[in-house]
Structure 1
């Protein structure tokens, strides 16, 4: 490991300028408007499950059919909701986030995204 500092390549942009650019701010806004509310909803759903399991045992132990009760169904729905949120995020990112991120990246690196070569 070298202790000498090397200067950054000349083609590296000023990241403070990039971070304050309208394109980057739009990218962050798009991500935050999707991720933060969905995270809050999922945490509330999980907290509801934990609180019901802790304080509403008679409700959670209601048998629906056979040995399947409300608590088991709610527990399985936690997995279902996790996979659904993941699928929803992947679709969101592919349609609304990744194209803008690729465009911004291409501008920063000087690459034509369509052709894949240096501009």
Structure 2
């Protein structure tokens, strides 16, 4: 007695999480690759639940999402611009004013060394400020948005 090789016997389950888009006719009822929705009369019709794409668009257009993005941009854009200008000023000064950069500050330490160490210090301060800003201004709103999104997607088949 020979068993017919189907999806179950081939080692791939119909609910395989790695199988994002099942082949047409494999586990579906309507032949389009998705499960057919039945209305009250038993006839196939549109699925009343929103799709993941609809939920994504709804979240993307929400005021909460826009607020999180606005808070992010209000910190990152000026901070990145300020740091870039500070870095470029260091590079320009090092190339156009070598006498200034070679001027001693204390012993063997010169202006270039102080400015270079200032770059490191600025990087650490900016990292600390970013983490603090995210914790105080964005994390709670982003977490609330994430929970709302998970509630909307709960029950959706992937």
**TM-score category by the smaller chain?**
0.7 to 0.9
Which of 32, 36, 53 lines up with 2:94 in the alignment? 53
- Structure 1: give runs of 5+ residues left out of the alignment: 112-119
Q: Counterparts of 1:93 and 1:24 in 2: how far apart (Å)?
A: 14
- Structure 2: give runs of 5+ residues left out of the alignment: 1-17, 23-33, 35-49, 153-158
Tell me the CA shift for residue 66 of structure 1. Answer: 1.2
Q: Counterparts of 2:57 and 2:124 in 1: how far apart (Å)?
A: 36
> What's the C-alpha RMSD, in Å, of the aligned pairs?
2.1
Q: Counterparts of 2:105 and 2:87 in 1: how far apart (Å)?
A: 21
TM-score (norm. length: structure 2): 0.63
Structure with the higher fraction of residues in helix conformation? 1
What residue number does 1:21 align with?
A: 62
**Structure 2 residue 126 is matched with structure 1 residue 85:** yes
4+ residue runs over 3 A deviation? 10-13
Q: Looking at both structures, which has the greater relative contact order when contacts are Cα pairs under 8 Å and sequence separation is at least 6?
A: 1
Tell me the CA shift for residue 17 of structure 1. Answer: 1.6
Which of 36, 40, 51 lines up with 2:81 in the alignment? 40
> What secondary structure does 2:21 align onto?
coil
Tell me the CA shift for residue 84 of structure 1. Answer: 0.1
CA contact (8 A) 2:55 2:149 kept: no
What residue number does 1:95 align with?
A: 136
Q: Counterparts of 2:51 and 2:143 in 1: how far apart (Å)?
A: 18
